Structure 1
């Protein structure tokens, strides 16, 4: 077998791999001899099938296997000896493939772009600023008020008041189809919030304007796809007796409210709210610090980039931005989108930083654990209520999807590793200052 270099220009590499026919024949014969003791064929005892017959029966398939194994072995040996790491899957083509016949030598052309050598970076010399925001008393009070709003109570309206959307109507009701009551169609002292969508479409809207002690017939049609077949698509009349009309009121901010949210008392709830707010601020501040780190790294390093990676990234950026500007186009049936100079510049930055972070992570032996991957999958699975198991199984069987989910986890772990080494200075700022810094990230 011979490996001859045909291209070495920048990061582009090209090689011809030649495998002599005799080498392939020897490999095929070795495979046949290895398998012969276990092969049975009509007219012959196990292990006694003549070699020429075996070759006629299995030779073509084994020749293909031998070619693939020999070429793969040559490629692996080349990468081990050269130290090259291909940026993308190498392109492999067989010369004279259509005219090749058994007994000919095999010549294969392999081409790829090598990943560049990443220069050393003095991480301890990087200076970063971390914005720190303390939860102000007014912010805590606002958060408590929002909690009280979600834990709203209802109090009776003045006698004779008409029910509004959002009010709670307490009522007795009996539903009938063709004059006959049906199972599950009755209730007593039932509290229904108008506009909640708790009842079938059209029901709650007809109760807007009712008063306490009023009787009201509500006529609705069950949806065609309703769960109970005996009711689906049928018209029903509900005789409703309104007992009370109540208006929503925010719950009082006190110890009772605190217990509803798992705290022992109001002081404990305030502590929980303060910690949650400051955790949110810390998350936003981290995003700002991360951008600062990436900007610093981008200025510190410069190296050749594999054109194929930049081209693919620029195409993806252009495609994504086009869809954001044309949200009405859901599929990919649209004109070809050409990346602009701005897209190419952004792609170069992303590829450069991606390669650098990958190198830093590899040297620091940063790894994404199975537990971290499982947690990430579970978090995404929650976006598909009722289909969590199917999503989990889909990801487990899809290597590309796993890589897409693993990449941001790996990047964040590398960023945290660099944060520990860099010179970090805390800067206490207001919530508004942090908000402006976060908004600036989206504008860049």
Structure 2
């Protein structure tokens, strides 16, 4: 195989590879020798089919397979020989297609990972905002749960139904005086003010009493789920069977025991632990952002455009999704377009910080153990139906990209924890409202965060950027790059027929199984 460098500009590299026809033919011959003993053909004893007949019947497929495997090995050899660290899968194109008996000439283009400067992990100073789980918050949580479990009792005679009461009714719905399908029910229990019914229905029952009959008029929403009812005015003939009032919720031992606990103190202890965990997560979120801010401000280096583009596309798709649910989608999209370059700058910084965290992890030998990876896989598998879980596990184990995506958040957390251990941290006790306000201030200033991302003065933009704040960064990059895995080429459509398989790593049957419906 001959290698000629055609481009070496910044992080971009280009090469032409020439694979000799005799090498491809040698692969074909090897495959024929391998499959011939396994073939069965009328008129020949098992394993005695002549090689020339095997070639005649399967030569085209064997030729394509030989070409594909030659391409893969050629690109991997190029990566190893030139000591390249691809940022994304190399692009591979057959020059002028491929003809049997001819040398295969490949055009290979890729971007390499930059040489990341030695990360500065000393001298980090962070403030940890902490909040204590106070008794009032615990009491409020217990009472809220009690309210959610409320029970009802018959209202006093003559009681007029009010918001919060439970009304038991029979009803018949009509449009233009004619009953419609699905508009009839008996013994329906409706909590007034719950918002379960179409607008005007619950409001129309305020003031009714038990054993009363009433007709109300309502209009179905224009976006109602049943087409023939959309926007239609309807009447409902109601018979009020009963009106019930909610019992005063009591957060006491009896209530706790009704939940299967020993008593109120155990319930309070559970809520205390939950609240403490929530507060700890908020504290970590704020401190992690400040850590990433410091890293972003003290490191600057070139990043691969292909990684930036992939990250930007993820941000943009998330923003488009958010805009589609906005009250004025057209205006939201227009605002996004006006700030497009701001979002691209955020993508640049996300990728840079992802590479930086990766380098910190590599330099300090931070790794994900096989036991930790197994736990991650098993936890993720729980999102799937039992019959699909094993298939999911096999897919993760065989697909390098899927495995990296699953591993990345934990790896980043481990790198961040390492940096916390190196930082000088001062503690300050604040209220929950103050901590949440500090986090909200980050978002209002356009700090778009996610795994491997931080913010700097380029990140300031209007509120729309909050949408991207929830989107994990494409820099999955917190995980050190595995050059041997990144070297799988992606053959462009311009390549010869079947040669496109050269970039395939797994058969179609190994796609991720669909997650179970929730």
Give TM-score scaled by structure 2 length.
0.66
Q: Output aligned runs, 1:172-321, within 5 Å.
A: 193-194=191-192, 208-212=206-210, 214=211, 216=213, 241-242=241-242, 245-321=243-319
1:290-347 deviation digits (Å, cap 9, x = unpaired): 111211221333322111111232344344335534536999xx99968733122211
Give the CA RMSD over aligned residues.
Answer: 4.4
Three-state SS of the structure 1 residue aligned to 2:367 is: coil
Shift of 1:216: 4.7
2:66 matched to 1:66? yes
Three-state SS of the structure 1 residue aligned to 2:368 is: coil
**Does the CA contact (< 8 Å) of 2:11 and 2:112 recur in 1?**
yes
Shift of 1:279: 1.8
Three-state SS of the structure 1 residue aligned to 2:3 is: strand
Instruction: Report the counterpart of residue 229 of structure 1 in structure 2.
Output: none
Partner of residue 101 from structure 1, selected from 99, 102, 112:
99
Tell me: CA distance 1:26–1:137, structure 2 relative to 1, closer, same or farther (3 Å).
closer
CA distance in structure 2 between the aligned counterparts of 1:433 and 1:299, rounded to whole angstroms:
25
Instruction: Report the counterpart of residue 510 of structure 2 in structure 1.
Output: none
CA distance in structure 2 between the aligned counterparts of 1:86 and 1:344, rounded to whole angstroms:
22
**Does the CA contact (< 8 Å) of 2:212 and 2:240 recur in 1?**
yes
Three-state SS of the structure 1 residue aligned to 2:441 is: helix
Instruction: Report the counterpart of residue 366 of structure 1 in structure 2.
Output: 368
Instruction: Report the counterpart of residue 231 of structure 1 in structure 2.
Output: none
Tell me: CA distance 1:162–1:63, structure 2 relative to 1, closer, same or farther (3 Å).
same
CA distance in structure 1 between the aligned counterparts of 2:263 and 2:309, rounded to whole angstroms:
58
Three-state SS of the structure 1 residue aligned to 2:246 is: strand
Q: Which moved more, 1:61-70 or 1:253-262?
A: 253-262
Instruction: Report the counterpart of residue 414 of structure 1 in structure 2.
Output: 415
1:112-150 deviation digits (Å, cap 9, x = unpaired): 001123333353543322211012333333333323322
**Does the CA contact (< 8 Å) of 2:31 and 2:62 recur in 1?**
yes
1:408-439 deviation digits (Å, cap 9, x = unpaired): 34433432343344343332222222021111
Q: Output aligned runs, 1:344-355, within 5 Å.
A: 344-355=344-355
CA distance in structure 2 between the aligned counterparts of 1:419 and 1:45, rounded to whole angstroms:
71
CA distance in structure 2 between the aligned counterparts of 1:241 and 1:57, rounded to whole angstroms:
80
Shift of 1:160: 1.7
**Does the CA contact (< 8 Å) of 1:395 and 1:402 recur in 2?**
no
Unaligned runs of 5+ in 2: 173-184, 217-224, 227-235, 447-518
**Does the CA contact (< 8 Å) of 1:216 and 1:241 recur in 2?**
no
CA distance in structure 1 between the aligned counterparts of 2:313 and 2:276, rounded to whole angstroms:
39
Which is bigger in relative contact order (C-alpha 8 A, separation at least 6)?
Answer: 2
**Does the CA contact (< 8 Å) of 1:318 and 1:338 recur in 2?**
no
Shift of 1:44: 4.1
CA distance in structure 2 between the aligned counterparts of 1:194 and 1:430, rounded to whole angstroms:
36
CA distance in structure 1 between the aligned counterparts of 2:315 and 2:354, rounded to whole angstroms:
15
CA distance in structure 1 between the aligned counterparts of 2:8 and 2:101, rounded to whole angstroms:
32
**Does the CA contact (< 8 Å) of 2:373 and 2:407 recur in 1?**
no
Shift of 1:153: 3.9
Unaligned runs of 5+ in 1: 176-184, 220-224, 227-235, 382-387
- In the comparison of the two structures, how many residue pairs are matched? 413
Give TM-score scaled by structure 1 length.
0.75
Tell me: CA distance 1:67–1:415, structure 2 relative to 1, closer, same or farther (3 Å).
same
CA distance in structure 2 between the aligned counterparts of 1:217 and 1:202, rounded to whole angstroms:
14
CA distance in structure 2 between the aligned counterparts of 1:301 and 1:200, rounded to whole angstroms:
56
CA distance in structure 2 between the aligned counterparts of 1:68 and 1:338, rounded to whole angstroms:
45
**Does the CA contact (< 8 Å) of 2:160 and 2:208 recur in 1?**
yes
CA distance in structure 1 between the aligned counterparts of 2:200 and 2:430, rounded to whole angstroms:
51
CA distance in structure 2 between the aligned counterparts of 1:433 and 1:94, rounded to whole angstroms:
60
Instruction: Report the counterpart of residue 385 of structure 1 in structure 2.
Output: none
Instruction: Report the counterpart of residue 20 of structure 1 in structure 2.
Output: 20
Larger Rg: 1
Instruction: Report the counterpart of residue 11 of structure 1 in structure 2.
Output: 11
